[in-house]
Amino acid sequence: MFKELNPLLHSELRLGIMSLLLSVETADFVYIREQTGATAGNLSVQLDKLSKAGYIEIEKTYKGKAPCTLCKITPEGVNAFGQYVDALKSYIHFKDE
């Protein structure tokens, strides 16, 4: 009846991160924090989870002398997101758009 919702994606912040990364393909820590409104601590933890799951890749670089954490969605991430959306459709009937 209802498809299982991947618990890693069924989280407001992680869903926002993934949604963002889907649209821009690469974003740094500060940008993600600003766009999602998350606290740095929370963001750090959630990025770590997504990274460990293989849904995103994290590269630590520098922007000038300041550290800069770059994030990028992986093909597995894109796939998992697609499946999540598909599962959502068993709960919700989307029309329009």
Note the residues at the interface with its own copies (CB under 8 A): 1-2, 4-5, 7, 10, 12, 15-16, 19, 35-37, 85, 88-89, 91-95, 97
Q: Which does 25 bind (CB under 5 to 8 A by kind): its own copies, DNA, none?
A: none
Annotate the chain with three-state secondary structure.
CCCCCCCCCCCHHHHHHHHHHHHHCCEEHHHHHHHHCCCHHHHHHHHHHHHHCCCEEEEEEEECCEEEEEEEECHHHHHHHHHHHHHHCCCCCCCCC
CB of 96 to DNA, least distance (A): 28
Of 17, 18, 27, 29, the one binding DNA (CB under 7 A) is: 29
